[in-house]
Amino acid sequence: MTWLSSPSHRQRLVAEAGRLLEFSRAARTPDGFGWLDEGGRVQDGRPTELWITCRMTYSHALGALLGHPGSAELVDHGIAALTGAFRDAEHGGWFTSIGSEGPVEPDKGAYSHAFVVLAAASAAAADRPGGAALLAESLEVSLRHFWDDDAGMVIESWDRTFSTAEPYRGVNAAMHTVEAYLAAADVTGDRAWLDRAVRMTGRVLRMARGNAWRIPEHFDPQWQPLLEYNAENPAHAFRPYGATIGHWLEWSRLTLHARAALLSRGDAVDDGMLDDAVALFDAAVQQGWEVDGTPGFVYTVDWDGAPVVRERMHWVLCEALGAAAALHRVTGDARFDDWYRAWWEYAEEHLIDLEGGSWWHELTPDHAASRTVWAGKPDIYHALQATLIPRLPLTPTLAPALARGLME
């Protein structure tokens, strides 16, 4: 029996999912979901963020499909926020953040709009009122304004009126658009969303393959890499300097989801996708895990593979768990089960906060609470997925899989 399949561990995953969903109930605010502090209280003085509202709506769509008490109502609250205060009725799309008097950041970003699609697809899979209509609208906005068919990637961001695009392109927004389009393909049955996700994945894998698996993150509008971008601000929450270890793991897993979706449709698949997923995983372990002498993944490395920001982010560990579980499912290789067990034990010892709730979002290399990049415990998205990916197939995506009763 593997660690991944052991009944005691499966029971622990069930309990942790319920604990995370219960913690996040306190994030509800009148206009969406707020940023939680380390004690699980909404932080005063912050605007309500679109990405957090979407990720909480998505998380509770999963909770509703799991039968968690109160989650269905919270999905409906999220849909109301996304069809109400966040929605730009004049120009289309959704505001990046809002306050009591309206939009605080009125620009429109591919990153946060990808999460609108993911939240809507998951709400539709959970059969929540308004979910399907929100999904149709969000996909229309994504296709019209963010999808760049010539590049096979997404435009990063626009001003409020969708008339001026930012002269920057980023792989982070593309990565979450892949996640969203895979979910959209499963919920709508429209193969075109899968094809777009596969195009983005293939381009990023080619970038990684040609750069010792250190995925470039930042680009100009012609998709030429900007390797020194944010060198003066290396710990940026969304655009850090260098290569981001957690994204190698996330792309590894997403590649496997895309590959499984193609196989499920009877497509011939180049096993290079699996080889690339393994290579990204191995590079993340070799260059990110315990590389400074203490357990944990560093946040970023430079272009020679040396650590830059050494803080331990909970989301990186969560993505490592998901990638290991996915690779074990595909290959049956025991080393992925071994890594999964080691990382889960690390999470139990250092990241899971049984007293305050949820997971510590950031630790120092010595495993004290840190706030260099992330203050508080903003959302449960990564940790909740880490409790579900080991128990679900690689295709369809999480919410449609739960809706079809595919939980192991």
CA 311, 281, 194, 133 torsion-angle sign: negative
End-to-end CA, the chain: 15
User: Distance (Å, rounded) from C-alpha 398 to C-alpha 228?
Assistant: 36
Amino acid at 394: L
- Provide the Cα torsion 250, 241, 272, 196; round to 10°: 70
Domain count, the chain: 1
299 in any annotated domain = yes
pLDDT score recorded for residue 368: 96
59 in any annotated domain = yes
User: Distance (Å, rounded) from C-alpha 292 to C-alpha 307?
Assistant: 8
pLDDT score recorded for residue 177: 99
User: Distance (Å, rounded) from C-alpha 273 to C-alpha 257?
Assistant: 10
84 in any annotated domain = yes
Encoded tokens for 171: 């792989």
278 in any annotated domain = yes
- DSSP symbol at 47: P
Instruction: Count CB neighbours of 185 within 10 A.
Output: 26
Cβ atoms of 361 and 370 closer than 8 Å:
no
Amino acid at 303: W
Domain that includes residue 65, residue range: 7-228+237-403
Strands 102-105 and 300-301, how do they pair? unpaired
Tokens 């658009």 belong to 177
User: Distance (Å, rounded) from C-alpha 233 to C-alpha 197?
Assistant: 30
pLDDT score recorded for residue 12: 98
pLDDT score recorded for residue 374: 85
310 in any annotated domain = yes
408 in any annotated domain = no
Please, what's the largest Cα pairwise distance for the chain?
57
Q: At 351, which CATH number?
A: 1.50.10.10
- Taking alpha carbons only, the member of 109, 128, 263 closest to residue 187 is 128
pLDDT score recorded for residue 270: 77
Cβ atoms of 134 and 83 closer than 8 Å:
yes
Active site residues: 247, 382
CA distances from 196 to 90, 151, 180, 231, 307 (A): 28, 11, 11, 31, 33
1 in any annotated domain = no
Instruction: Count CB neighbours of 266 within 10 A.
Output: 6
Q: What is the pLDDT along the chain (408 residues), one digit of tens a residue?
A: 899 999 999 999 999 999 999 999 999 999 999 999 999 999 999 999 999 999 999 999 999 999 999 999 999 999 999 999 999 999 999 999 999 999 999 999 999 999 999 999 999 999 999 999 999 999 999 999 999 999 999 999 999 999 999 999 999 999 999 999 999 999 999 999 999 999 999 999 999 999 999 999 999 999 999 999 999 999 999 999 999 999 999 999 999 999 999 999 999 887 799 999 999 999 999 999 999 999 999 999 999 999 999 999 999 999 999 999 999 999 999 999 999 999 999 999 999 999 999 999 999 999 999 999 988 999 999 999 999 999 999 999 999 999 999 998
2 in any annotated domain = no
